[in-house]
Structure 1
Amino acid sequence: MAENNDSRRLRFAVMCNSTELQQWQKQSLDALLLSGCAEPVLLIMPAGNNAKPGKKFWRRIIAYPWNKIIFRKYYQYFFRPQAFRKTIADLGNDEIPVIRCTTTLKKKYSEYFSPEDIEAIRSYRPDFILKFGFGIIRGEILNCAPYGVWSFHHGDEQKYRGVPPAFREILHNDRVTASILQRLTEKLDGGVILRKGFFPTIYHSWRANLDQAIALSLNWPADVCREIIAQHTFPAGGESTSTTAPVYKEPENTTMLQFIAKQFVNKIKFHFLELFQAEQWSTGIIRARTAEVAGNIDYSPDPEMVSWLHSGSNDRYFADGFALRTRHRILLLFEDYSYRQRKGRISAAWYNERDHDFSDITCALEEPWHLSYPFIFKEKDDFYCIPESKDHGSVELYRLDTDSMKLTFVRTLLPGVAAADPTLVFHQNRWFLFFTPAHATNVELHIWHSPDLDQPFEPHELNPVKADIRNARPAGSLFKLDDKLYRPAQDCSQTYGGKVVINEIKILSEEAFLEMPVSTLEPPHGYKGIHNLSFAGDYMYFDCKKFVFSPASFLYQAGKRFRSKKHTSTGIKQL
């Protein structure tokens, strides 16, 4: 294993075609520089213009791939991703040396660097090379730096190879779009995976789908550098990936027409559903032990056995239920959301086991900002709650008075951190706080930790510890079964809060994290989603959703589109 030359900072080279980069490439470089864990030492660029003499007009006409003209013109005039906008690279140092290399083309596509250029690159002692240019590179250049050449691929290499990126996921109705950062090897699309993430496919917009896949992977080179420095090891194993996925090329005219029609229909469907369908969450409690859920591959609550707590209005819903057994009763805390006010508060009710009914609903906490996900736990003789206050931009701790069912502010745990669904667990004499950040609420799992609730929390060395729309966002309290620790997580790949995945945590420490899915919790019959659960003795308290027409939601969505159209017509750009 290569040793890091500097325990605090890695050296890297950038492989690019010119100092003019695409916006996403510059943003990834900016994140790498801002991290403070890497410094640029070299630019590797092509030497001169090696283009072949142009063909005569009629030969160009004959040779043009007319069977792909729709794609090429669409790509040229209509496909304008934000990520592809041109910008000038700023590496913070105008004196970074440049090596211009002439490559040799072999076997039609493979580019090989000369021994002289390779020795020149090695003389700058880069720890890794970040590839933003050239073509398919092979040969000794791949071993020119101890940690190799790193390259992005926007797509799941197990399904889609070739071009264009983030396209066939829409065409084939794939629920997720992937991105990878890999260390290149001699094997095409068979590199060593350094980071891989899965994001929800945006079916109504190819541009938005690609922008999302790119934006949520920009920080990966900086994340890998932090991992190398923190753990003094390379984050990926030495074996290359293996894939038999087909290699796609530019879509032909018939495929492109099919794609344009599908994207148009998806756009109409998207706006129709936003206008006329609103999520209607309900909470329910049922007799169910942890072993029934974690030990059953596909567990689903029987709706006939559930005691339901409904809001009674299409403009209001109850979600994110947490249960706490105290004094032979079960206290329930949940999000109480109003479509009219466009925000939620935390409400509470008691559940009577004998009569299977609920007490009157009481407001436990209301703030000027939106509140949800009232995670509750016991520490010594006190009960505490950490509601989600992502819109407020912090994670805050409240004390719960079980007599009055009121929450009182104690302290801010994470100032300046906009966290979705913060979930706390005490493990191996340390508190670990799980959440997903505001910029990737359903995708990136982050962990912070502290030895004591009264002491500051600090981020995990591997953050984000996971980037997967299918299995990242917390879905309720962690629980133990047979001395094993389990973490419920949301699967939002088909719909927000579609189902819950139960993960067994294999490793959880300040330096490492590993979990494996063991079972899933499906919504009850007649419901379209489930995204939170909490155990209290022999009972499981959970939520699930249907889609309904909400007058308040309709008016809001219609008004939003009217305002957007008005701003556009008056020349005001929407941010």
Structure 2
Amino acid sequence: MKSENDGNTIRFAVMVRSEGLQKWQRDCYNSLINSGLAVNVLWISEDEEVSVQSWTLRVSAYPWRKLIFRKYYKHFFRPESFNRIPFEEVRGEIPVIHCKTIRKGKYSEYFEESDLNKINAYEPDFILKFGFGIIRGEILTCTPYGVWSFHHGDEQKYRGVPPAFHEIMRNDPVTASILQRLTETLDGGVILRKGFFKTINHSWSANLDQALKLSLNWPLDVCREIISQKSFPAATEGVKTLAPVHKEPENLSMVLFLVKVFVNKVKFHFSEIFLSENWETGLIEARPEQIAGPDAFVISPLKVTWLRAGLRNRYWADSFAIEHKNKLLLLFENYDYRKQKADISATWFDENNKTFGEIKSALNEEWHLSYPFIQMIGDDIYCIPESLRHGSVELYRLDTGTLKLHHSRTLIPGLQAADGTLVNHQNHWYFFFTPAHATNTELHIWHSETLDGTFIPHTLTPVKSNAGNARPAGPFFTCNGKLYRPAQDSSRTYGGRIIINEIKLLTEDDFLEETVCVLMPPAGYSGIHNISFAGKHMFFDSKKYRFSPAAFRHQIMRRLKL
């Protein structure tokens, strides 16, 4: 039953429940189908038994100690990703086989040999599991790439149910998802993809929605890697974990959980309304080898030459510096809470006298601008400011006389990129960024042979899904012949600290980096999310929280939908 293909298409089957798919599963399925890289050859439908019990038996067998959870889950828990999509809406003309598994032990399900033969006849390369229970036996190895299944939680901490729940209960700053190839060992599969997302502790449904939505493209990512690498990107052995297997929370635990979520929600809205981010920029004498060295570098506020907006409704952030004619050229985001947008400002810094020049407006567009990445190309200085709302990556040339940025050309049309960072490595250009749908989580790379050429996605994009180590935090820098990439750690708070990663491998088809150290914000500050080296200084930003009348007004009007 196998149709001919050009070797660039992967065949798969889908295990599904008889009532259909949840929305996130449908979206995951569509990402595979719409890519043109994968084709569904078979639906494997779960032939579920409907048991009929008497009223008295149902009452006596009901888990009354879990009543609150059961009722809350049934009547109040409404994640968007759980919306049910009827099977007939997604089935199409694809064949369906109905399988009834054999129960062995308390939970294990095994497929009958006749059903395995039917599945093998369609020759799928892998099976995507959206139905059935804990499956074991020959079904796990009947296809070349096995059975792929999602688990929404860090398998080293949380096994069992419910997903994205215990992270809130235990104040875990991140919630994980994994895509694994199943093995005979429960929760001991071979990890194909794993990501970490900042826990949304004031909403269980939002936290779960996030974990589902930001991982649903992973099967496609693995298919893309199989096709490009001509091999299966997985370890030979499954993971080992000693994490406890959680069950549905009992009544007292559920009450405590609901109280905790309510308190977190009050704190969240209070902070959004009354406490606004106030970023400040500053320079401190520091070399790359001090930051990437074995000893932790401490930013002392007393040693910093600060460059502050000094206004309640305005802040300066995203600090970039470059040495030019014995002075430091500084570019930074100039954000105005009254306009709810930012421009790019520029000034000069004299390293000897530690004095600043006049603050000038370098660029003002109709859309929000930030992260003014600067790059010396030949004798000219170019800037790629973040233009996420604009929807394209734009390149500007700086007039060093007037400190004005003039549009040069569109570097990458139609790409919504946050904190875009360019690096030339081994005579090849690489553009690192996080996308609009996952600005703090997914690290993407596009590349081109020349800066004037067409940028295309890296084979492994997204190369990382981690709220604690993905989003760029300034330009790459070299130290002792090694290339380093600063990244934001937003696992606890946006721009909480900076992670310094050493680039171990960077080509058109491969990427590997390793964390070497962490840079904390100065004492008295709550975050740092950008560094840039020039001359003998490091230009950085740090944040505090304070009340802003303009931000307060905006939050109130947004909640009142005015």
Q: How would you bin the TM-score normalised by the shorter chain?
A: over 0.9
Q: Distance in 2 between matches of 1:396 and 1:91?
A: 41
Superposition deviation, residue 300 in structure 1: 2.5
- Does 2:352 align with 1:354? yes
Query: For the Cα contact (< 8 Å) 1:390–1:438, is it kept in 2?
Result: yes
Matches within 5 A, 1:281-300: 281-296=279-294, 298-300=296-298
Matches within 5 A, 1:384-533: 384-533=382-531
Match of 2:138 among 137, 140, 160: 140
Match of 1:174 among 169, 172, 175: 172
Superposition deviation, residue 46 in structure 1: 2.3
2:76 match: 78
Matches within 5 A, 1:113-512: 113-296=111-294, 298-512=296-510
1:104 match: 102
SS of 1:31 mapped into structure 2 = helix
Q: Distance in 2 between matches of 1:5 and 1:154?
A: 34
Amino acid at match of 2:377: E
Q: Distance in 1 between matches of 2:46 and 2:200?
A: 36
2:42 match: 42
Q: Distance in 1 between matches of 2:553 and 2:157?
A: 41
SS of 2:528 mapped into structure 1 = coil
Amino acid at match of 2:494: Y
Query: For the Cα contact (< 8 Å) 2:176–2:194, is it kept in 1?
Result: yes
1:7 match: 7
Superposition deviation, residue 537 in structure 1: 2.2
Query: For the Cα contact (< 8 Å) 2:16–2:130, is it kept in 1?
Result: yes
SS of 1:108 mapped into structure 2 = coil
Q: Distance in 2 between matches of 1:60 and 1:87?
A: 29
- Does 2:57 align with 1:59? yes
TM-score (norm 2): 0.98
Superposition deviation, residue 92 in structure 1: 7.0
Superposition deviation, residue 94 in structure 1: 2.9
1:105 to 1:199, Cα distance in 2 relative to 1, 3 A: same
Q: Distance in 2 between matches of 1:486 and 1:136?
A: 43
Q: Distance in 1 between matches of 2:273 and 2:46?
A: 51
Query: For the Cα contact (< 8 Å) 1:386–1:398, is it kept in 2?
Result: yes
Amino acid at match of 1:18: S
Q: Deviations over 1:512-562 (max 9, x none)?
A: 101010001100000000000000021100000000000000000001011
Amino acid at match of 2:151: H
Amino acid at match of 2:100: T
Amino acid at match of 2:460: L
Query: For the Cα contact (< 8 Å) 2:328–2:535, is it kept in 1?
Result: no
Query: For the Cα contact (< 8 Å) 1:226–1:461, is it kept in 2?
Result: yes
Q: Distance in 2 between matches of 1:285 and 1:511?
A: 37
- Structure 1 window deviating more from structure 2 (290-299 vs 373-382): it is 290-299
Matches within 5 A, 1:528-539: 528-539=526-537
1:33 match: 33
Superposition deviation, residue 88 in structure 1: 2.7
Superposition deviation, residue 89 in structure 1: 4.3
SS of 1:391 mapped into structure 2 = coil
- Structure 1 window deviating more from structure 2 (291-300 vs 535-544): it is 291-300
Q: Distance in 1 between matches of 2:433 and 2:217?
A: 18
Q: Deviations over 1:216-255 (max 9, x none)?
A: 0111111110110011111111110111000000000010
- Structure 1 window deviating more from structure 2 (57-66 vs 382-391): it is 57-66
SS of 1:501 mapped into structure 2 = strand
1:573 match: none
Superposition deviation, residue 296 in structure 1: 4.0
SS of 1:119 mapped into structure 2 = helix
Superposition deviation, residue 95 in structure 1: 2.4
Q: Deviations over 1:467-496 (max 9, x none)?
A: 000000000000111111100000000000
SS of 2:315 mapped into structure 1 = strand
2:550 match: 552
Amino acid at match of 1:32: L
Query: For the Cα contact (< 8 Å) 1:443–1:468, is it kept in 2?
Result: yes
Q: Report the RMSD for the aligned CA atoms in angstroms.
A: 1.3
Amino acid at match of 1:412: T
Amino acid at match of 1:269: K
Q: Distance in 2 between matches of 1:92 and 1:231?
A: 30
In structure 2, stretches of 5+ residues that fail to align are none
Q: Deviations over 1:129-178 (max 9, x none)?
A: 00000000000000111000000111111100000000000000000000
1:261 to 1:330, Cα distance in 2 relative to 1, 3 A: same
Superposition deviation, residue 91 in structure 1: 8.2
Q: Deviations over 1:367-405 (max 9, x none)?
A: 010000000011111111100000100111111121211
SS of 1:267 mapped into structure 2 = helix
SS of 1:487 mapped into structure 2 = strand
Q: Distance in 1 between matches of 2:337 and 2:439?
A: 20
Q: Distance in 2 between matches of 1:92 and 1:85?
A: 14
Q: Distance in 2 between matches of 1:458 and 1:188?
A: 39
Q: Distance in 1 between matches of 2:21 and 2:521?
A: 46
Query: For the Cα contact (< 8 Å) 1:161–1:246, is it kept in 2?
Result: yes
SS of 1:224 mapped into structure 2 = helix
Query: For the Cα contact (< 8 Å) 1:297–1:518, is it kept in 2?
Result: no
1:226 to 1:19, Cα distance in 2 relative to 1, 3 A: farther
Query: For the Cα contact (< 8 Å) 1:365–1:407, is it kept in 2?
Result: yes
Amino acid at match of 2:461: N
SS of 2:389 mapped into structure 1 = helix
In structure 1, stretches of 5+ residues that fail to align are 565-575
Q: Distance in 2 between matches of 1:189 and 1:545?
A: 40
Identity %: 60
Q: Deviations over 1:233-286 (max 9, x none)?
A: 111111101110000000000100000000000111110000000000000001
Amino acid at match of 1:24: W
- Does 2:4 align with 1:16? no
Superposition deviation, residue 107 in structure 1: 1.3
Total equivalences in the alignment: 559
SS of 2:561 mapped into structure 1 = helix
1:19 to 1:249, Cα distance in 2 relative to 1, 3 A: closer
1:5 to 1:192, Cα distance in 2 relative to 1, 3 A: farther
Q: Deviations over 1:76-125 (max 9, x none)?
A: 11101101111134787732111111211011100001111111111100
Query: For the Cα contact (< 8 Å) 1:26–1:89, is it kept in 2?
Result: no
Q: Distance in 2 between matches of 1:553 and 1:391?
A: 20
Query: For the Cα contact (< 8 Å) 2:152–2:164, is it kept in 1?
Result: yes
Q: Deviations over 1:276-302 (max 9, x none)?
A: 000000000010000000114532311
1:82 to 1:93, Cα distance in 2 relative to 1, 3 A: closer
SS of 2:532 mapped into structure 1 = strand
